[in-house]
Amino acid sequence: MQRSSSSPLGQMSAAAVHLYTATGAVLAFLIVLAAFEGDTYRALWLGLIALIIDSTDGTLARRFRVSERLPSFDGRRLDDIVDYLTYVFAPVLLLWSGGYLPSGTSGTILASLPLLASSYQFCRVDAKTDDHFFLGFPSYWNVVAFYVIVFNVAPNVVGIILTVCSLLVFVPIRYVYPSRTVEFRGLTLILTLMWVISYGLILLEPVTLGPLLSNISLLYLVYYFALSMYLTLQPRHVHSAS
In what helix (H) or strand (E) does residue 133 lie, and over which residues does it extend? strand 133-135
Reply yes or no on whether the pLDDT at 1 is more than 90: no
The full DSSP string for 12-62 is: HHHHHHHHHHHHHHHHHHHHHHHHHTT-HHHHHHHHHHHHHHHHHHHHHHH
Give the 3-state secondary structure of residue 240: coil
pLDDT for residue 71 = 95
Secondary-structure breakdown of the chain: helix, strand, coil percentages, each rounded to the nearest 5: 70, 5, 25
Let me know: does 93 contact 108? Beta carbons within 8 Å.
no
CATH number of the structural domain spanning residue 81: 1.20.120
Model pLDDT for residues 158-201, shown as the tens digit of each residue: 999 999 999 999 999 999 999 999 999 999 999 999 999 999 99
Give pLDDT, residue 185: 96
Indicate the burial class of 28 (C-beta count within 10 angstroms; 0-12, 13-18, 19 or more): buried
Confidence category of residue 235, pLDDT binned at 50, 70, 90: confident
Percent share of the chain, pLDDT over 70 = 95
Q: How many domains does the chain have?
A: 1
Secondary structure class of 117 (helix, strand, coil): helix
Encode pLDDT of 104-144 as tens digits: 999 999 999 999 999 999 999 999 999 999 999 999 999 99
Q: Which domain holds residue 215?
A: 2-239
- pTM here is 0.92
In the predicted model, what is the mean pLDDT of residues 40-44?
97
For the packed helices 105-122 and 90-97, what is the interaxial angle rounded to 10 degrees?
170
Q: How confident is the model at residue 239 (pLDDT cuts 50, 70, 90)?
A: very low
Query: Residue 174 in 3-state DSSP?
Result: strand
